[in-house]
């Protein structure tokens, strides 16, 4: 079968995108740049687009802001495609200095804001961790596919180092939850060393560098709503409150779908030239139903998902019991350099030589480790310290606003461990269940390398962050890649961003970007 991009440009093809999250919207936006070539229909089962990237309203007088982001909080400097979409619609991400608080008490706490006793205790482990990362890189994919828990044992790292430093760090930033011990070592190495994926640099003294720059997203609900309106104005049909009941047929000539309007209950059978499934792998299998091939069942069935509960609340007492929320002298190790002395002074809130240095210890990321099972954790955000709108002029003028927190309880099968009952019920703002990907080593043996053998078969493509790593940026790139495979152009705007796209296209679609571009150039010339 010839590639979609080689079909006659005069023939407008009807593309249906299932799922209006970051992947689906990115795919629609890329295809919409070629209105003469594509008729685009996007179906979203919810009443709004954005997927897990949502916002919830707040009582501004009580909390100091009228909204907060929920599900997706922010990202790092590698989120080039995400930021590009944000900037197009006037919602730029806001920089901030990352502060974390892991663990509780002198023997369990560490941070990237000032030297802690736990970091000093594991200084030799931290230095050897740099060697470990190099060995994993040199021996990929053999050792890289082994779970991080096994690799830490093979390299004789102390159990305490893994439980209190490595696992919480990976779980929080990669979103692996309580599957962290099963994450392949290669993904950990990539997070520290791959220019396109790393969230921070490895620090030989403290593991996590001192307050690196991260970014807080603007109001996601407003952004996605404006993005949707603009795509509709460009000719994209976006149908919310609409779900695909099943795939009726799939061939090289197109796909037939049974589509239901959830408001009216009306079901229609419709035909499209190509299908792009921008939903989770298990949802994709459910939608494909009897039309799913054995290959699709094998690859997509390898993705494991876990049900997590996020509780948004304002219980400061619960937070103080669970985490270290402020500077305490007993948590601090003896400084070994002038830089560490400055870090301690800054954490205390003492006046220093420049405003940039005067950053009090006000962490936004937290982890709590279960005493009986230290590989399992709970995660939390102090959203008032993280999301920029709480620090705006309006928020600053509010009279002592209550802080807003989010605590994530992982894997409902472990709900007997959860501390949710310790949260004051009167201070709970919202509960949200999420169906989250577990980045197990099996995912990188079975799912990620298998995706290229599914893409494009029977007029079907797949996109979503689950195809690689659970990041908003990967979701955006995956949607753009599906549109590219259908024949849309990749609009270069940044060298770093294009390099990430090129790598994703190779891994998930098995296509060399340079070769594809040469092929398209010849087709245009002819």
Residue with tokens 């990115």: 26
Same domain, yes or no: 358 and 422:
yes
The pLDDT confidence band at residue 392, using thresholds 50, 70 and 90, is: low
Last residue of a domain, one of 377, 411, 438: 438
Q: Specify the DSSP element, H or E, that contains 505.
A: helix 495-509
Report the domain count for the chain.
2
**305 close to 293: Cβ distance less than 8 angstroms:** no
Same domain, yes or no: 161 and 246:
no
CA 186, chain centre distance (Å): 18
Q: Is 286 helix (H, G, I), strand (E, B) or coil?
A: helix
Within a domain: residue 445?
A: no
pLDDT in tens, 254-287: 999 999 999 999 999 999 999 999 999 999 999 9
Within a domain: residue 260?
A: yes
Task: Give the up-direction half-sphere exposure of residue 370: CA atoms within 13 A in the CB hemisphere.
Answer: 16
Same domain, yes or no: 342 and 386:
yes
Nearest CA to 206 among 99, 130, 123? 123
Query: What average pLDDT does range 351-368 have in this prediction?
Result: 71
Same domain, yes or no: 429 and 516:
no
Helices (H), 146-240: 148-154, 159-161, 167-174, 185-193, 220-233
- Res. 398: pLDDT tops 60: no
**What backbone torsions phi and psi does residue 187 show, to the nearest 5 degrees?**
-65, -40
Same domain, yes or no: 266 and 365:
no
Task: Give the up-direction half-sphere exposure of residue 150: CA atoms within 13 A in the CB hemisphere.
Answer: 13
**CA–CA gap between residue 305 and residue 50 (Å, rounded):** 19
Query: What average pLDDT does range 233-242 have in this prediction?
Result: 98
Within a domain: residue 193?
A: yes
**CA–CA gap between residue 462 and residue 261 (Å, rounded):** 23
pTM of the model: 0.92
Same domain, yes or no: 414 and 285:
no
Within a domain: residue 449?
A: no
Within a domain: residue 325?
A: yes
Last residue of a domain, one of 385, 407, 438: 438
Last residue of a domain, one of 438, 470, 504: 438
Which among 161-170, 230-239, 330-339 has the top mean pLDDT?
230-239
Within a domain: residue 446?
A: no
Same domain, yes or no: 196 and 344:
yes
Same domain, yes or no: 74 and 175:
yes
Q: Give me 271's structure tokens.
A: 């035909």
Instruction: Give me the domain span that covers residue 362.
Output: 55-216+306-438
Within a domain: residue 443?
A: no
What pLDDT sits at residue 182? Answer: 85
Same domain, yes or no: 176 and 263:
no
**413 close to 373: Cβ distance less than 8 angstroms:** no
Residues 6+ apart with CB under 8 A from 373: 417
Within a domain: residue 347?
A: yes
Q: Which DSSP state fits 115?
A: -
Same domain, yes or no: 197 and 328:
yes
CATH code assigned at 466:
3.50.50.60
The pLDDT confidence band at residue 300, using thresholds 50, 70 and 90, is: very high
pLDDT in tens, 10-63: 589 999 999 999 999 999 999 999 999 999 999 999 999 999 999 999 999 999
Same domain, yes or no: 231 and 265:
yes
Q: Give me 372's structure tokens.
A: 């009986």
Residues 6+ apart with CB under 8 A from 213: 76, 77, 95, 96, 97, 98
Same domain, yes or no: 264 and 351:
no
């Amino acid at each position: 079968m010839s590639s979609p991009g080689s079909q006659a440009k005069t023939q407008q093809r009807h593309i249906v995108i299932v799922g209006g999250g970051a992947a689906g919207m990115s795919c629609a936006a890329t295809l919409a740049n070629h209105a003469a070539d594509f008729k685009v229909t996007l179906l979203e089962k919810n009443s709004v687009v954005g997927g897990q990237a949502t916002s919830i309203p707040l009582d501004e007088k009580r909390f100091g802001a009228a909204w907060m982001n929920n599900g997706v909080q922010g990202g790092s400097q590698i989120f080039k495609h995400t930021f590009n979409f944000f900037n197009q619609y006037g919602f730029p991400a806001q920089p901030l200095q990352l502060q974390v608080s892991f663990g509780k008490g002198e023997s369990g706490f560490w941070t990237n804001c000032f030297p802690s006793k736990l970091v000093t205790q594991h200084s030799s482990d931290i230095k050897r961790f740099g060697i470990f990362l190099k060995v994993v890189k040199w021996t990929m994919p053999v050792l890289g596919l082994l779970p991080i828990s096994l690799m830490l044992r093979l390299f004789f790292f102390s159990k305490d180092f893994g439980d209190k430093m490595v696992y919480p760090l990976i779980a929080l930033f990669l979103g692996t939850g309580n599957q962290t011990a099963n994450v392949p070592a290669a993904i950990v190495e990539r997070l520290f060393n791959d220019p396109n994926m790393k969230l921070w640099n490895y620090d030989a003294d403290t593991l996590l560098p001192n307050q690196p720059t991260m970014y807080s997203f603007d109001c996601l609900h407003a952004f996605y709503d404006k993005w949707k309106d603009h795509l509709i104005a460009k000719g994209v049909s976006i149908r919310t409150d609409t779900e695909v009941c099943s795939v009726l047929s799939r061939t090289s000539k197109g796909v037939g779908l049974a589509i239901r309007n959830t408001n009216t209950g009306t079901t229609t059978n419709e035909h499209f030239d190509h299908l792009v499934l921008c939903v989770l792998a298990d949802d994709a299998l459910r939608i494909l139903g009897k039309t799913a091939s054995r290959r699709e069942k094998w690859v997509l069935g390898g993705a494991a998902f876990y049900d997590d509960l996020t509780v948004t609340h304002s219980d400061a007492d619960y937070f103080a019991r669970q985490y270290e929320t402020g500077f305490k002298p007993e948590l601090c190790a003896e400084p070994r350099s002038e830089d560490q002395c400055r870090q301690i002074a800054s954490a205390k809130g003492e006046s220093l030589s420049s405003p940039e240095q005067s950053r009090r210890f006000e962490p936004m990321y937290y982890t709590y480790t279960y005493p009986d099972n230290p590989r399992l954790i709970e995660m939390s955000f102090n959203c008032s310290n993280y999301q920029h709108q709480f620090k705006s002029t309006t928020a600053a003028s509010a009279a002592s606003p209550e802080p807003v927190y989010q605590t994530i309880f992982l894997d409902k099968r472990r709900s007997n461990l959860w501390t949710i009952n310790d949260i004051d019920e009167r201070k709970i703002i919202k509960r949200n269940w999420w169906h989250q990907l577990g980045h197990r080593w099996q995912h990188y043996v079975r799912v990620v390398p298998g995706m290229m053998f599914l893409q494009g078969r029977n007029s079907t493509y797949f996109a979503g962050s689950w195809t690689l790593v659970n990041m908003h940026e990967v979701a955006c790139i995956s949607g753009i890649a599906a549109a590219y495979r259908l024949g849309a152009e990749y609009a270069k705007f940044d060298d770093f961003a294009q390099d990430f796209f090129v790598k994703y296209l190779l891994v998930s679609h098995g296509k060399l970007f340079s070769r594809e571009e040469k092929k398209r150039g010849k087709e245009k010339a002819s």
